[in-house]
Amino acid sequence: MTPLLFLQLLYLAGSSFYGDTNLVMAAPQQKSLAKKATSRCHQPIQRRLTGCTGVPEFRYGFNKTAKRCVDYETLDCHDLTGNEFETREECLQTCHVNSPCLKNDWAGGDTYGKWYRYDSETDSCEEEHSYYIKSELSRLNIFKSARQCRKKCTPTYDHLHHE
């Protein structure tokens, strides 16, 4: 066996010439962290409006049935727990990474017009005037109306239906 082949086999087996095994351990650890984050997304949304003298503020939770991150009011004196995020963007990145609301990496198209896109920094739907591809409307962050954009990307938690 040649020395190069021996070193390659050691590397594949989880060791390098210097004994570093972190490269092989990274993938299982990443899967474990991803699974933990995903299980967080399947917990119920819990509005907490009693138990302290805080001020109501908006937080975000993942509605697994609708596959959307919804906003809701809770008191600011409670720590973040379970299915609760400070921003809708954080909720989407954790629970629905393939959401069209996060897709901003497209350019150009064959149709010029007015359309709307979700801006995760302002948590709002913004009007745009530029070219877009009609066939991409359903899977990208491009919407025909502000209402359609808000329905898909900025829904509010229906606490009357869930409590």
Q: For residue range 16-44, what is the model confidence (pLDDT) as tens digits? A: 334 433 434 445 554 554 555 678 999 99
Encode pLDDT of 46-97 as tens digits: 888 888 888 999 999 999 999 999 999 998 888 888 999 999 999 999 999 9
* DSSP notation for the chain: --HHHHHHHHHHTT--TT---HHHHHHHHHHHHHHHHHHHHTSPP----SSS---EEEEEEEETTTTEEEEEEEETTSPP-SS-BSSHHHHHHHH-TT-GGG-------SEEEEEEEEETTTTEEEEEEEEE-GGGTTTTT-BSSHHHHHHHHS-B--HHHH-
> Model's pTM, two decimal places?
0.70
In order of their start, the domains of the chain are 41-162 (4.10.410.10)
Q: 107-139 pLDDT, tens per residue?
A: 678 888 898 999 999 999 999 998 877 777 667
